[in-house]
């Protein structure tokens, strides 16, 4: 026997799926008509504004109040501008400027653009307090390392997005900023007592709840004092006792992607992960990016079987589905006039640039960009100074495979501008900088998280607090190279 149609529709109402390519396949639209809560759009789904507007219209033809979500954080995480880089600076840059009104305006502009394209949920902002310089997955996605500053800007971002009619989703509860592992690949552990979380990680979540945030995303992190051996996504102590009872959140709890190893491995697969997340108090289950009709049906069947066998309370799933439906009803047909992002985003990025030392006299330097791998959250998005350079020559190298003497010969009498991301932890990066700076005038541009490391002997150290298109232009302007 197949899954009972009523149970299937109930289960589908808690699922956020995805599909490949720029055109929604028939099954993706059919599932929406049959009760699927919605879809998340990724870079592979986005070619240009006209195509994206047609995509959202096609999904809405399946059901008018379908949830259409996207990760559009600005800065290093962009889906709309994945081919070029975002015209907005990200959270680290906005935190560095420390102008909450600017943060609100930037997020309002992002929200207006999303709303005009038919997108109803932005899986942003990231409100984690990035207290670990070695954090591989948050970094410049965070407003900073100070809980109070992050709280103020998180609330401003939520207000900006939601003023445009797009639901904000603050992430990643109860805080991913102290981790030194990537939950896409493993289950990170934050081994601190709840009192530390309340002081260090949770103030931004309290602030966004006060600001009326529509949704909060779970973190696939282990906090032993609260979650035991599993992730927060599967913990009632985190999602019900802490988030709802203590912090008073009444909106939709969305899981981070269940295909991530921090969840799927811990549960034994995406289907079991969905059951455990619902039982713990999650409402809307983000399956992930690699989704097809078969996987959606598998997850729905797992939820239905769990209800039928008593492993999952039907009332809990009905509660989750009702919350998700209410969110969909509130965001239905949201629209806003798109704004011109360029002036706002690029001016904001320029305000964030910090210079230590002197950048005067950089006449036709050799610009050396060091290769840095992207995280799954960021994806392969262009970055650097290249698109903004005038007559300066640029080369791109891998630090561990580059002979400093070869770069010196190539530069000749010209100064060198060395551009990198997270240089303090880039294999071979600090050594290459030191070797060049020992005999050559070197300016270093850091486009990743601004750690305490500084390059010995460098003429100047420039920090952009992000690697978006806007950040790259701002750095080129500061250096006089644009």
Q: Which residues contact 184 (CB under 8 A, 6 or more apart)?
A: 137, 260, 261, 262, 375, 376, 377
Q: What is the DSSP string of 283-320?
A: -BEE--SS--HHHHHHHHHHHHHHHHTTSS-HHHHHHH
What are 41's strand-pairing partners? Answer: 70
Could you identify the residue written with the tokens 């097809």?
292
Catalytic residue check, 305: no
DSSP 74: B
What are 17's strand-pairing partners? Answer: 39
DSSP H/E element including 267 = helix 261-267
What are 442's strand-pairing partners? Answer: 416
Rounded Cα–Cα distance for residues 130 and 141 (Å)? 9
Rounded Cα–Cα distance for residues 168 and 162 (Å)? 6
What are 2's strand-pairing partners? Answer: none
Helix, strand or coil, per DSSP, at residue 49: helix
Question: How far from 108 is each of 69, 95, 100, 160, 161, CA to CA, in Å?
Answer: 16, 16, 12, 4, 5
Q: Which of 73, 71, 75 minimizes the C-alpha distance to 471?
A: 75
Task: List the catalytic residue out of 210, 256, 305, 403.
Answer: 256
CA quadruple 260, 265, 270, 274: dihedral positive or negative?
A: negative
Positions marked catalytic: 256
């Amino acid at each position: 026997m197949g899954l009972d149609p009523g149970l299937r529709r109930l289960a589908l109402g808690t699922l956020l799926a995805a599909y490949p390519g720029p055109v929604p396949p028939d099954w993706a639209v059919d599932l929406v008509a049959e009760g699927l809560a919605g879809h998340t759009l990724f870079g592979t789904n986005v070619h240009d504004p006209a195509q994206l507007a047609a995509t959202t219209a096609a999904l809405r033809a399946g059901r008018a109040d379908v949830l259409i979500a996207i990760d559009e954080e600005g800065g290093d995480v962009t889906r709309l501008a994945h081919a070029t880089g975002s015209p907005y600076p990200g959270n680290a840059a906005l935190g560095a400027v420390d102008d909450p009104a600017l943060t609100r305006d930037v997020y309002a502009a992002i929200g207006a653009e999303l709303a005009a394209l038919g997108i109803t949920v932005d899986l942003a902002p990231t409100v984690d307090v990035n207290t670990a310089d070695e954090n591989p997955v948050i970094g410049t996605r965070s407003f900073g390392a100070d809980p109070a500053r992050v709280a103020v800007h998180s609330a401003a971002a939520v207000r900006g997005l939601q003023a445009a009619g797009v639901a904000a989703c603050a992430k990643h509860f109860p805080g991913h900023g102290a981790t030194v592992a990537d939950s896409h690949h493993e289950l990170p552990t934050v081994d601190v007592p709840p009192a530390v979380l309340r002081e260090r990680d949770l103030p931004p979540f309290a602030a966004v709840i006060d600001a009326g945030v529509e949704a909060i995303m779970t973190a696939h992190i282990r906090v032993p004092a609260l979650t035991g051996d599993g992730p927060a996504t599967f913990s009632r102590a985190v999602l019900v006792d802490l988030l709802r009872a203590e912090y008073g959140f009444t909106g939709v709890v969305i899981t981070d992607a269940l295909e991530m190893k921090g969840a799927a491995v811990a549960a034994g697969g995406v289907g079991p992960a969905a059951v455990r997340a619902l039982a713990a108090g999650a409402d809307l289950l983000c399956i992930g990016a690699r989704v097809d009709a078969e996987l959606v049906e598998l997850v729905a069947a797992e939820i239905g079987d769990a209800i039928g066998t008593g492993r999952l309370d039907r009332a809990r799933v009905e509660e989750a589905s009702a919350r998700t439906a209410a969110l969909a009803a509130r965001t239905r047909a949201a629209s806003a006039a798109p704004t011109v992002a360029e002036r706002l985003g690029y001016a904001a990025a320029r305000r964030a640039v910090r210079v230590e030392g002197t950048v005067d006299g950089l006449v036709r330097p050799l610009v050396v960009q060091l290769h840095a791998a992207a995280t799954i959250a960021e994806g392969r998005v262009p970055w650097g100074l290249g698109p903004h350079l005038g007559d300066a020559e640029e080369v791109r190298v891998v630090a561990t495979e580059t002979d400093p003497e070869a770069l010196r010969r190539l530069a000749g009498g010209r100064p060198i501008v060395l551009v990198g991301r997270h240089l303090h932890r880039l294999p071979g990066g600090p050594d290459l900088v030191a070797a060049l700076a020992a005999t050559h005038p070197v300016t270093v541009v850091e486009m990743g998280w601004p750690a305490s490391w500084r390059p010995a002997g460098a003429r100047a150290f420039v920090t952009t607090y992000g690697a978006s298109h806007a950040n790259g232009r701002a750095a080129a302007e500061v250096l006089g190279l644009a």
